[in-house]
Amino acid sequence: MTQHEFPAGQSRAQRASDDADVIVVGAGPGGSSAAYHLARAGLDVLLLEKSTFPREKVCGDGLTPRAVKQLVGMGIALEPADGWFPNKGIRIIGGGVRIELDWPELSSYPGFGLVRTRRGFDEIVARAAQRAGARLAEGVTVTGPVLDDATGRITGVTARETSAGDGEKGAERTYRARLVVAADGNSSRLSLAMSLRKRDDRPLGVAIRTYYTSSRRDDDYRETWLELWDGNALLPGYGWIFGVGDGTSNVGLGLLNTSASFGNTDYRAMLRNWLATMPAE
């Protein structure tokens, strides 16, 4: 969406009932980068996030060169001293084969990937959006869409201050905008409230991860295991071990809904069983 989609000559003051040109719900990497680019395009952007930074998010913490390019484009400094751990490529283990594939040398993308924990990463992208002019409101939980009675189109959202943990909730408030971006994560309640449904033609993955201290913590390849063994039993799914560069490795596994075991797997037990067969390091 670009600024010229607003009626020509209409000033922000004339749209006084709007709280913003665009409301972005959710300041994960999706919402914050959308907010960044919309703000850079000159729009008044309100970015609503239910949690407060810094906050944890379950993830493998791996960023491909494509993601690195986006970060560079947002003016984010990627200094190793600030916790950005670069890698050369992917090590793939499976079928009796172990290969190291370097990220390709391309003029269009950087030749390296990164690992960075989401605890710091998401805040960095959110602050970049703020620097670009987006107004970030943390601790604000969006509770539903506001609809235009005549058209049914979304014209804003209702929201409350996120509970301080004692069950108390702030008063509900309405924010209005011409465009609302639902970037509220994979369960996207806002999308569901707008009757949008998950696309069944796209696979869905479920994954878990944990952190280990390991001598392999400074691995400069992101390691992916295409087969997970528990003794002689082949477990469903794939696993990863990514050095984080801070003394730990991010270790996890995931399963696609195309697997026969999807929906009836104890992921924690599977992670334990897989790791029990792995060398100590």
Ligand X SMILES: Cc1cc2nc3c(=O)[nH]c(=O)nc-3n(C[C@H](O)[C@H](O)[C@H](O)COP(=O)(O)OP(=O)(O)OC[C@H]3O[C@@H](n4cnc5c(N)ncnc54)[C@H](O)[C@@H]3O)c2cc1C
Q: Is 203 exposed, middle or buried (0-12, 13-18, 19+ CB in 10 A)?
A: exposed
Exposure letters 88-112 (e unless 16+ CB within 10 A, then b): bbbbbbeeeeeeeeebeeeeebbeb
Pick 146 or 208: Cβ nearer ligand X: 208
Q: Does 248 bind ligand X (CB under 6 A)?
A: no
Residues 89-118 that bind ligand X (CB under 6 A): none
Q: Which helix (H) or strand (E) holds 85?
A: strand 85-87
**What binding mask, one character per residue, do residues 155-174 give for ligand X by CB under 6 A, x or -?**
--------------------
Cα–Cα dist 238/160, whole Å = 39
* Helix, strand, or coil (residue 40): helix
Cα–Cα dist 169/50, whole Å = 12
Q: Does 58 bind ligand X (CB under 6 A)?
A: yes
Q: Does 127 bind ligand X (CB under 6 A)?
A: no
Q: In angstroms, what is the minimal distance from the CB of 102 to ligand X?
A: 18
Looking only at the bridges linking them, the beta strands covering 221-225 and 238-243 are antiparallel
Pick 14 or 196: Cβ nearer ligand X: 196
Q: In angstroms, what is the minimal distance from the CB of 254 to ligand X?
A: 6
Q: Does 60 bind ligand X (CB under 6 A)?
A: yes
DSSP letter, residue 170: P
Specify the residue for token string 């924690």.
268
Q: In angstroms, what is the minimal distance from the CB of 8 to ligand X?
A: 32
| Contacting range for ligand X; rule: CB under 6 A; set: 8-16, 79-87, 99-107, 203-211 | 203-211
| Contacting range for ligand X; rule: CB under 6 A; set: 2-10, 95-103, 163-171, 178-186 | 178-186
Residues 23-52 that bind ligand X (CB under 6 A): 25-31, 48-51
Cα–Cα dist 226/120, whole Å = 29
| Contacting range for ligand X; rule: CB under 6 A; set: 78-86, 131-139, 148-156, 180-188 | 180-188
Residues 252-281 that bind ligand X (CB under 6 A): 252
Pick 43 or 183: Cβ nearer ligand X: 183
Tell me which residue of 126, 178, 135, 213 sits closest to 12, measured CA to CA: 178
Pick 15 or 161: Cβ nearer ligand X: 161
Cα–Cα dist 114/62, whole Å = 6
Q: In angstroms, what is the minimal distance from the CB of 160 to ligand X?
A: 9
Site for ligand X, rule CB under 6 A: 25-31, 48-51, 57-62, 141-142, 183-185, 189, 207-209, 252
